[in-house]
Structure 1
Amino acid sequence: MEWDETERDWMRAMRAYEQTVTCPLCGMDVQFCHDEDAVHHTFAGGQVEICFVTELREKAMRRYTESGVVKNPHSQTTKLIARTTE
């Protein structure tokens, strides 16, 4: 299915918004996240949490890297393997 001009315009607008309004690090509006006073007024602090999906991906990449067959280390990606219900 091909996108019509209206759909392409929506995607262009979203890309422009993401590139000019949202922070590439946190995803929040840069007017907010680059305002130190506003951030400290809104949040009491931060905490470290674990994303277990990313942990699985990192473990897979570590095994792959240690296998010695890595040709282009920054072009690799991972795929999660679903468990079978047997």
Structure 2
Amino acid sequence: MSARARLVEIVFQQERTYEIAIGTTTANDAVCAPQLEAAIAVVLGLEVSQVNIVVTTVSQEEVDLHFGVYERMLAEKLGVVPPIQ
């Protein structure tokens, strides 16, 4: 993954699975997801199927519509916070 800022939400399910949601403006981050799933599984001693990474890519134009508040916009996209009214 690049050095750009991104938002990450990690949810531990009762089935001993990890759902990891990543919001980013870098489309190439989605390419890294399978390798990251495998690496995280090894570190945590899990099966690869127990780690699921979902990458949500947004455009810089969408960030600009949120007055440049990058983290807030990504949190809205991931459903972590409600949209600003």
Normalising by structure 2, we get a TM-score of 0.24
The structure with the greater share of residues assigned to helix is 1
With a CA cutoff of 8 Å and minimum separation of 6, indicate the structure with the bigger relative contact order.
2
TM-score (norm 1): 0.24
